[in-house]
Amino acid sequence: MIVGHGLAGAILAQTFAKHGINAHVVEANLPHHASPIAAGLVNPLIGPKLNPPFDFEKCLQEIHRLNDFFSRKFGESFYENLSLHRIFRNQEQANIWKSNPSKISHFYEKVEIVDSKETTMTAPFGIGITKCLRLRIQSFLEFSKHSLIESDHWIQGFHNYDTQGYDFIIFCEGFRSAQNPWFSYLPFAPVRGEILEIQKKLLFAASNGTWAIPQSSTSFLAGSTWDHSGLEKGPTSEGKKKILNDLDFLNLNSVEVLSHLSGVRNGTLDRNPIIGPHPENQKIFIFNGFGSRGATTIPLYAMKLVEFILGKSPLPEHLNPNRFES
């Protein structure tokens, strides 16, 4: 039994299915969750130093395997290729790009730095174009839900933490883990974020920390914000204003906002997800803490959890729920 059909619960259910195991999934459609609004970007270069995320090659390998499985099962692959125009924030970032380090250069779509005069954007330190991926999360969640309904493994409703009657129960509740009697002691660090859909055709994705990603032939998504307080208060007028201000590099003359949404990313204090059994009950698991990078990391960690439950391999120590004990 999997509790929660956000991105974590859905990818986990499909990873079990890939191994020939059909798990039941219970989902309550609670408000303020991240997956229904997330952009799904898989960004190869993160932070001020343009580093690849931890274990990124392994994450990509598992994403491609899962995407092949989706193609076979659903007739659709939900991870799509995208070009990302990275607006350098300072000369240091441009220098890192120019030095062509091998750990990042194979993600370059174009080696030369693009001069902003060749574009309509403001970018005094230039633009580096990288390959990236985008997971169409909401579309994937719909397909996953329908396949679970068809095979009679979907349970609509709130799970009340009764653990009787299941071989295993795996909690994938996003920020509601704070209310879970088994796992509320864990040091999660939830952060609220907002996202806008703006009426305007965008031909490519761009980011200077704030990102803009084509959504349809006439609109794009833009985000995001970071707010540790008032998790369930959004969306807010301040959030909208901040995103629109931060998009000034796009030089939009006027904007029409089509939608404005807010959701909570459930991060952790050490930025690693928390995955594994409860210390006192080996049939109760947590699979949570994917922060702002679930589209990158969840396929790899779902595979690791399934292999652990099948007795094939241990879970990495950096994911262990007990790692916070002193």
Ligand X SMILES: Cc1cc2nc3c(=O)[nH]c(=O)nc-3n(C[C@H](O)[C@H](O)[C@H](O)COP(=O)(O)OP(=O)(O)OC[C@H]3O[C@@H](n4cnc5c(N)ncnc54)[C@H](O)[C@@H]3O)c2cc1C
Interface map 247-286 toward ligand X (x if CB under 6 A): ----------------x-xx--------------------
37 binds ligand X, rule: CB under 6 A: yes
Interface residue with ligand X, options 18, 85, 159, 242 (CB under 6 A): 159
Shortest distance, position 140 Cβ to ligand X, whole Å: 11
Residue closer to ligand X (CB basis): 176 or 304: 176
86 binds ligand X, rule: CB under 6 A: no
3 binds ligand X, rule: CB under 6 A: yes
84 binds ligand X, rule: CB under 6 A: no
Task: Please tell me the distance from the alpha carbon of residue 75 to that of residue 87, in angstroms, as a whole number.
Answer: 35
Residue closer to ligand X (CB basis): 15 or 35: 35
Residue closer to ligand X (CB basis): 116 or 297: 297
Burial class for 64, CB neighbours closer than 10 Å (0-12, 13-18, 19+):
middle
Pairing of strands 219-223, 211-216: antiparallel
Shortest distance, position 11 Cβ to ligand X, whole Å: 8
206 binds ligand X, rule: CB under 6 A: no
Residue 295: name the closest of 130, 113, 122, 66 by CA.
Answer: 66
153 binds ligand X, rule: CB under 6 A: no
Q: Which two three-digit tokens encode residue 320? A: 């262990």
3-class DSSP string for 54-104: CCHHHHHHHHHHHHHHHHHHHCCCCEEEEEEEEECCCHHHHHHHHCCCHHH
Residues 6+ apart with CB under 8 A from 273: 287, 288, 289, 290, 291, 297, 301, 319
239 binds ligand X, rule: CB under 6 A: no
190 binds ligand X, rule: CB under 6 A: no
Interface residue with ligand X, options 158, 187, 238, 310 (CB under 6 A): 158
Task: Please tell me the distance from the alpha carbon of residue 276 to that of residue 317, in angstroms, as a whole number.
Answer: 10
Interface residue with ligand X, options 125, 148, 173, 249 (CB under 6 A): 173
Q: Which stretch binds ligand X (CB under 6 A): 100-108, 173-181, 198-206, 232-240?
A: 173-181
3-class DSSP assignment, residue 144: helix
Binders of ligand X among 285-304, rule CB under 6 A?
Answer: 288, 290-296
Q: How many CB atoms lie within 10 A of CB 108?
A: 16
Angle at 213 between CA 136 and CA 131, to 5 degrees: 80
CB 1 within 8 A of CB 24: yes
Q: Can you give the binding site for ligand X, defined by CB under 6 A?
A: 3-9, 26-30, 33-35, 37-41, 158-159, 172-176, 193, 195, 223-224, 263, 265-266, 288, 290-296
